[in-house]
Amino acid sequence: MQKKLVAGNWKMYKDKSETFELISQLKEKLNSFFPDVDVAICPPFTSIELAGELLKNSKIQLGAQNMHSEVEGAFTGEVSAKMLKSFGVKFVILGHSERRTYFKETDEFINQKIKRAIEFDIKPIFCLGETLEERESGKTFQVVENQLTKGLSGISRIDLEKIVIAYEPVWAIGTGKTATPEQAQEVHSFLRKKISELYDSEIAMRVRILYGGSVKPENARDLFKQPDIDGGLIGGACLKADSFYQIILAAQD
Ligand code: PEP
């Protein structure tokens, strides 16, 4: 069992002054007590530099929400792993359902991004999960297995160590509808079994699998108690220092 990781996905929230305020509040809380949990925040690109400066000498790690698979080139509006690396970024969220849905990102593109992030020593938080329609038609396992296999295609066992997986049922993201701890555990244990088939059981035990989808202080503890849930990817509830801190504390119990 790994040390738990709680990562905050700020999405398209927080301008410069709001970034300053949220990070200052979070640091203050974590200064008084920093539990035995890995913590990362993933602000928008416009706040990466400021966040990096504010997080110097802090145990809170810096993440980003996306990147392109190429190192550089004529890709207007995009940001590369090399650029993120130069700002001290340690994690990058890849394959988030909002990117898959609104920006039509494919499993193949996500796989290329994962490989590139690893090349630049940035840990991918590789997101996957089924839609409500897929769940209701009994396709959850088939869908997540397909996303997992394609996302990890060509990735060696050594590189798998650098990847964090995040199971995020699409129907639970930003909807207030959380998967029950049992529903989440069922998929997490399935994913671990598949990783063990793709690689081996020893590495499958060590890969962190986060749960994401309407995690809040009220439900975090029960989710994190499940044997195959190694932390959370938090959206809405990470935008306030207090609720994010409560979730971080829940990950320690
Ligand atoms: C997310 O964006 O990854 C997420 C889990 O969002 P929320 O917690 O708001 O459902």
Domains of the chain, start order: 5-252 (3.20.20.70)
- State if pTM tops 0.75: yes
Best substitution site from 209, 233, 240, 247 to test ligand 1's pocket, by max atoms within 8 Å of Cβ?
233
Is residue 9 in contact with ligand 1, taking CB distance under 6 Å? Answer: yes
CA atoms within 13 A on the CB side of 57: 1
Q: Respond yes or no: is residue 168 known to be catalytic.
A: yes
Tens of pLDDT along the chain (253 residues) come to 689 999 999 999 999 999 999 999 999 999 989 999 999 999 999 999 999 999 999 999 999 999 999 999 999 999 999 999 999 999 999 999 999 999 999 999 999 999 999 999 999 999 999 999 999 999 999 999 999 999 999 999 999 999 999 999 999 998 888 899 999 999 999 999 999 999 999 999 999 999 999 999 999 999 999 999 999 999 999 999 999 999 999 999 7
Residue 36 one-letter amino acid:
D
63 burial (CB, 10 Å; 0-12 / 13-18 / 19+) is: buried
Which of 96, 98, 105, 134 is catalytic? The answer is 96
Taking the CB of residue 27, how many other CB atoms lie within 10 A of it? 17
Which residue's C-alpha comes closest to atom 6 of ligand 1?
235
